[in-house]
Chain A
Amino acid sequence: LAGPPSPPGQDPHGWRVPVDCVRANELCAGEPSCSSRYRTLRQCLAGRDRNTMLANKECQAALEVLQESPLYDCRCKRGMKKELQCLQIYWSIHLGLTEGEEFYEASPYEPVTSRLSDIFRLASIFSGMDPATNSKSNHCLDAAKACNLNDNCKRLRSGYISTCSREISATESCSRRKCHKALRQFFDRVPSEYTYRLLFCSCKDQACAERRRQTIVPSCSYEDKEKPNCLDLRNTCRTDHLCRSRLADFHTNCQASFQSLTSCPGDNYQACLGSYAGLIGFDMTPNYVDASPTSITISPWCSCKGSGNMEEECEKFLRDFTENPCLRNAIQAFGNGTDVNLAP
């Protein structure tokens, strides 16, 4: 079966290691031929699909030149400075390079090389990571305690909780926009040894599982008056560069595959959990659908009602959340404090 991904900074084929798109854009701007081709390509892509674009000689030439430039392989980092600007540059090239609407899009983010075991090492100062502790322990409560003992985690957590539970008026129970923003800050700026413990704690009873479900204040950040159709929601998400990128990242890192033992791409649980957490605070915010301690079901707030002839596609999209063995294994592995042992 597939081996581990190559370590960062080295490329198995001596290929350029990608730079981030902001940097690549600067490099391109310094070269007159590159910058003019990039401008041409952006004009070519404006409102046209790949095929119409490739029919135009000038556009094709621009594309061929850019394939050799650092812009073509550039990526972004999660939570980097100017992340949005980086993603805008990325999609300005890649939107027109796909064959129409693709079901799965490639992630614009650099691949994750860290593993769950790294988190466990960092988290070994905490108690409760050891599954052998007494059966009475409530891991979700321990996670909240651990967060409260860390200034940064405590500040950002109470920040999003108060924002998400602030009632605006009789009709509007909270400001969803502000709540999402506060949640994004929490998951972007707090180290994952804190955030994962809150999100993915393992539970033996309903009270614990309800606490886990309530982690992201779902009444404000997740639930809504009506459930939109999942394809409609995906479409909304794809109109926003950030949401689109996070969704593509989720699809790249959590796509169940039969090729590996864990069902996860590259057997990397950490990458899948990270891209799941990266969706929180966007239109595609996922959450636990109920407070069942053992059977974990995750879903965004949408359904496949009203899909017409697209029902198959809609259910396939939804199943990547609700019945995804990779995601389920990753959450359970984190809860048990286990990771895949990779042969060195």
Chain B
Amino acid sequence: GAAFGLYFPRKEYSENVYIDQPAGTPLLRIHALRDSHGEVAHFHLCQHLIIFRARSHENRWFQIREKTGLLYLSKSLDREDFNMLSVGNWVPLSKVVLSVFLSSHPFQEKECDSATRTTVSLSLMNASAPACSSLTARQLCFTEMDLSFHIKENKPPGTFHQLQLPSVHHLCQNLSISYKLLAAEGMPFRYNENTTGVSVTQRLDREERERYELIAKCTVREDFREMQVEVPFLVNVLDEDDSPPFLPNGTDTADAVVEFNRKEGTVLATLTVYDADTTPIYPLESSRKKYTGTIITDDPWISETFRVEHIFDEIHFSPNGSQVRGTQHEYKLVLNKSISVTEHRSFQLDVLVNDTEFHGPERSVMLHFNVSILPVSIQFPNMTYQFTVNRNAERFAQIGKICIENCMKFRGVNISYKLLSPNVSCYPVSILQGREGKWGSLYVNDSSVLHRPECKEIQYTIQATDKQSRKHTKTLLTVILEGTLLKKEEDCPDSCAVSKHRAECEECGGLGVLTGRCQWRQGSGKGITTNYSTCTPSIKTCPDGTCDVIESKDPAVCPQDCTSGNIIGGHGKGTGNLGIKSGHGICYCFPRQNCYCEKDDIKEQLCDEMCKTVI
């Protein structure tokens, strides 16, 4: 990584300041760690105090020793100072914030905007300094802040913290307060009893271990009493880019076949690259720049047609029992545009992956995709279509589906189906494009033709055309009319969905029926369910939860799938607020108006008590 120079092992320090503490009172000690041997730390305060409300004051009270990092009071804070600093702080506790800067040479004022800084929050206590006897052992030993530090990997050792609190030490000189660092055996840390300093004894490697959990123990002796306090002492190791990318099991090649799925955005193949370093998700853009994947080609067609998508995710590995975070990078080869069905070629596509911040010879790996683009043929299966249609079918009755070979596997291929009109007057059916341009739906368009006796067997030619390449294919379709005409019931509604009861449902016809009569679907009758009772032109297609192209031609065909109006009663709406997904009891609809779902509990008594006795 970049040369950071000296750095602070903590982001933030905190301490309390009391009214009328004398000038010279030490507050806290700040340490710095080195980036390279021989660096000397110089600490400096810039002359602005930031109060929590963005109001700033000239700093007249605090100073820091340039060499040792000891922050102390250079002037006592009296009540007037307190009042001035507390203005604008609405919370009872005011805070002032100081920035401490770090430099490897004696300080010049203009460096006050250098990046290496740490924050010291001083809480202004609205009272005079407490007596030692009133402080708990916890307060005598440690501040409120967690003892949590970060140390960069691969950096020289050094002291990074002092356990003794300078303010307490100064205040309570007759108390004996001693510290110990527990659980430190075999860890690269040492505690120096004379200075109470904690130092790191060797260069750390985050890829070996990234967290050390120790315990700081403090013992307070006062006359004959002894009190002990233990708090966790944590060290996090910061990562730098010191590992090259590598391939799991050496896999650097993947096959990418383009056949039926030719749609823009399709992922053809994925190759994985590992890296033992962490890659932050935040901020995302810089991480994207850090790890690049580039298609190596001078063929403009390839660079237009393909793109590489890079996603990365955190993974864990365990070098020696402790969990360490690493990164898994995935490079996906993606179609940048839909490919025509006539395209036919194969080639190797190389992607260069580069870990830009790693300074070593193996900073990049080459990934290979064996791309084969196969053509797909636009043809009907070698048979002709034959459908029989009942003469009592009504307009919008769905007869069947027309589909070229493998049409359901197609994506990104748009096929349009057309009926080439026969030279006869019998022309009852039409075709409509299904969703996503995969198949065609055959339906009755003119039911009056079905009633004409001279129309029996009608021959059509169907043509399927690929919109992009204009390639097309044809096949024959035979429609056979069968059945005898039934007499139409009087005063039947034109929509099956209007019927509320089984009897009236099954004796009427309606738009979309196949055999002249509506069908009754008997539901399970358990609360609000998708399996509700209803009257429909064809149980196979309505209600099935989708408002298909034929149903959407006329709202009277299948309001159960297509209604966008009100539904009264217990119900759940379908996708996109269309149709009745689930209902309570029987659902029936008045097309272009409301639908109703209700329990039908009018049970007609066949025989009452009176009649029983007569029998």
CB atoms of B91 and A13 under 8 A apart: no
A68 to B281 alpha-carbon distance, docked (Å): 43
CB atoms of B282 and A310 under 8 A apart: yes
Residues of chain B at interface, number, CB under 8 A: 43
A99 to B314 alpha-carbon distance, docked (Å): 31
A166 to B577 alpha-carbon distance, docked (Å): 7
A-contact bits for B563-584, CB 8 A (1 contact / 0 none): 0000000000111110000000
Q: Which of B34-59 contact A (CB under 8 A)?
A: 50, 52-56
B247 within 8 A of A: no
Chain A, Cβ-Cβ closest to B54 = A97
A99-B99, A309-B239 in contact; A232/B54 too (CB < 8 A)?
no
B347 within 8 A of A: no
Chain A, Cβ-Cβ closest to B56 = A97
A218 within 8 A of B: no
B113 within 8 A of A: yes
CB atoms of A232 and B112 under 8 A apart: no
Residues of chain A lying within 8 A (CB to CB) of residue B280: 229, 306-310
Residues of chain A lying within 8 A (CB to CB) of residue B112: 51
CB atoms of B88 and A235 under 8 A apart: no
CB atoms of B576 and A5 under 8 A apart: no
CB atoms of B281 and A266 under 8 A apart: no
CB atoms of B113 and A167 under 8 A apart: no
A98 within 8 A of B: yes
**Cβ distance A187 to chain B, nearest Cβ, rounded Å:** 23
Residues of chain A at interface, number, CB under 8 A: 45
CB atoms of A167 and B577 under 8 A apart: yes
Residues of chain A lying within 8 A (CB to CB) of residue B300: none
B-contact bits for A246-261, CB 8 A (1 contact / 0 none): 0000001000011100
CB atoms of B282 and A52 under 8 A apart: no
Chain A, Cβ-Cβ closest to B577 = A166
A259 to B91 alpha-carbon distance, docked (Å): 12
A2-B126, A99-B99, A259-B93 in contact; A309/B278 too (CB < 8 A)?
yes
CB atoms of B91 and A252 under 8 A apart: yes
A72 to B53 alpha-carbon distance, docked (Å): 10
CB atoms of B282 and A167 under 8 A apart: no
A10 to B5 alpha-carbon distance, docked (Å): 50
CB atoms of B281 and A232 under 8 A apart: yes
**Cβ distance B10 to chain A, nearest Cβ, rounded Å:** 10
**Cβ distance A100 to chain B, nearest Cβ, rounded Å:** 9
Q: Which of B257-282 contact A (CB under 8 A)?
A: 278-282
Chain A, Cβ-Cβ closest to B112 = A51
CB atoms of B150 and A312 under 8 A apart: yes
**Cβ distance B124 to chain A, nearest Cβ, rounded Å:** 11
B174 within 8 A of A: no
A312 to B234 alpha-carbon distance, docked (Å): 11
Q: Which of A12, A13, A99, A232 contacts B284 (CB 8 A)?
A: A232
**Cβ distance B458 to chain A, nearest Cβ, rounded Å:** 37
CB atoms of B87 and A94 under 8 A apart: no
B-contact bits for A33-57, CB 8 A (1 contact / 0 none): 0000000000000000001100100
Residues of chain B lying within 8 A (CB to CB) of residue A94: 54
**Residues in chain A within 8 A of chain B (CB atoms):** 2-5, 12-13, 15, 51-52, 55, 67, 72-73, 94, 97-99, 103, 106, 111, 166-170, 228-229, 231-232, 235, 252, 257-259, 265-266, 305-313
Q: Contacts A99-B99, A313-B11 known; list 15 others, CB within 8 Å.
A: A5-B91, A13-B87, A15-B88, A51-B112, A55-B113, A94-B54, A97-B56, A103-B12, A166-B573, A166-B577, A167-B573, A229-B281, A306-B279, A308-B280, A309-B280
**Residues in chain B within 8 A of chain A (CB atoms):** 11-12, 50, 52-56, 83, 86-88, 90-93, 97, 99, 112-113, 119, 123, 126, 144, 148, 150, 236, 238-239, 278-284, 313-314, 573-577
